[in-house]
Amino acid sequence: MIWVLLLPALATVAAPFLKKREAMVLSFLAFFIPFLVSFYWLFTGYTLEVAIQDVVGPIGRIYIYGDSLSHAFGFTIALISAMVAVYSLPYMEHRFHEMGLDVGKEFRKYWLFYNLYAASMLWLVYAGNFILLYVFLEISLIASFLLIYMYGYGNRQWVALLYFVWTNVAGVLALIGFILIGMQNGTMAMDAIKAVGMTAWLLVFVGMLIKLPGFGPHIWLPWAHAEAPTPVSALLSPLTVGLAGYVILRVYFIDSSFIESYRIPILAYGIFTSIYAGLSVFRQKDFKRLLAYSTVSQMGYMLIGFAAGTFGVLGVVIQYISHAFGKSILFMSAGAIIAVYHGLRDVEKMGGMHEYVPTISNAALLGFMTLSGILTVGMFGEFFILKGIADIYGLSLTAILPVIVVFIISGLYSFYTMKNIFYGKPKGYETPIVSRLLDTPLYVIGIISVLLILPPLATLFLAGVKIAFGGVLP
């Protein structure tokens, strides 16, 4: 396990000294191998633990830990990171030329921070101590901040600082909560924590609510996701924000009392967040900003899932995977159009793009299908969330109907956007040459999203995820 997790660290150190294509290959392998291994671990229900250091309380034992929950998040992070690394080569070369920068020099910096950013997220889900988890959370924040600051669009320095401040506040609130947990239990080692006090729970929950984000704190996200360089957007939206859900899950599995006590307010807040952000998608004219509001809406799904009992929480895990798959495809689709049409991102200037970039159009369709839960792994996420709602609140329309409305809105904005961009009236653009490195990674992710609902992968996948819940689910 240590060797698997050290591969991204090796790439972080070595890639800056290699030529750009060799660095891309190394970065791809550094995450694709962990993807294959964690995928296998998930299917087999393999649990493993590696001790690092015993530290005096309230920190306690620091160790690396992998269970089915870690593997479900880990294989998702590793797969997306590997595919985005391939996509980065042509996209960032375009971006460096656009900014008038030296390609060779900038790629050395880019690969350093890209690999550090992706690796920190992978390490986070295998951290067995809350203080170690926090360290990786902050590393991912710093690396992504630097990538936005150096290579973003628009007023990128201001956007990077906005992103840094909001997400740092989220991290600090969570850290205070972790410290309170450690003081209450004498340790921050997850396997030794017996209970989580309400104050600590509230601080962690509010911190991660900012990072998700829910309605209100969401104001930072459309700026950061829209103006980040697209490979960063393809990690930031599907992976980083969703990791807030992972942190909440880890606390939930230790002590679920806070969620159970405030289940109805959390449900109402999640529904409002999803509906507000989903409707806001229709008003956006910037393709990437549109996708950012979709992210806020999808994070509302996770809040709904937390309020829907055990089946709902199972839905949260699968929702993280489906959102990661769908949104990474869509951000890379938007980026491909930006790259081949020199900055085109205004939806009103698009139309009939399928005629010009059919491979990107078809990949985007897979992305929107995944978000909408149509014949992709997202279908399982929506099913378990809805089943959880029915189990907890009964068949009352008061609870079920708003959740169904949330699902419908996602489908509506997905295919409304698809129609306006790819199937509308052609605007008379020339047909460009699209690098295979810009579209092939999208299809790899999309095909895996489809395969996960088909036997035998579907059976193995669901069985592996259920092990995280003690294997008690039917």
Q: Each residue of 402-412: pLDDT tens digit?
A: 999 999 999 99
239: which DSSP letter? I
- Looking at residue 56, its pLDDT comes to 87
**Residues listed for the chain:** 474
Any domain includes 3 = no
Any domain includes 92 = no
**What Cα–Cα distance (Å) separates residue 107 from each residue in 10, 25, 113, 214, 282?**
17, 13, 10, 35, 36
Region 159-166: mean pLDDT is 96
Question: Residue 469 is part of which domain span?
Answer: 262-474
- The percentage of residues in the chain with a pLDDT greater than 90, rounded to a whole number, is 87
- Looking at residue 100, its pLDDT comes to 96
Distance CA 97, CA 82 (A): 24
Quick one: how far is CA 97 from the chain centroid? 28
- Looking at residue 247, its pLDDT comes to 97
Question: Looking at per-residue confidence, does 208 or 216 come out higher?
Answer: 208
Any domain includes 115 = no
Any domain includes 361 = yes
Any domain includes 406 = yes
Distance CA 288, CA 346 (A): 9
pLDDT band at 130 (very low <50, low <70, confident <90, very high): very high
Is the preceding omega at residue 90 within 30 degrees of 0, hence cis? no
Any domain includes 290 = yes
Region 411-415: mean pLDDT is 95
pTM above 0.75, yes or no: yes
- Looking at residue 264, its pLDDT comes to 94
Dig out the tokens for 96 from the structure.
């460096």
Residue 472 has pLDDT above 70, yes or no: no
- Looking at residue 467, its pLDDT comes to 81
Nearest 5°: the CA angle 155, 329, 40 is 125
Any domain includes 377 = yes
Any domain includes 410 = yes
How confident is the model over 67-80, as pLDDT tens digits? 999 999 999 999 99
Residue 38 has pLDDT above 60, yes or no: yes
Region 242-271: mean pLDDT is 95
- Looking at residue 474, its pLDDT comes to 53
Q: Lowest-pLDDT range, 198-202, 217-221, 341-345, 397-401?
A: 397-401
Chain mean pLDDT for the chain? 94
Residue 50 has pLDDT above 70, yes or no: yes
Q: Please count the structural domains in the chain.
A: 1
- Looking at residue 473, its pLDDT comes to 56
- Looking at residue 19, its pLDDT comes to 95
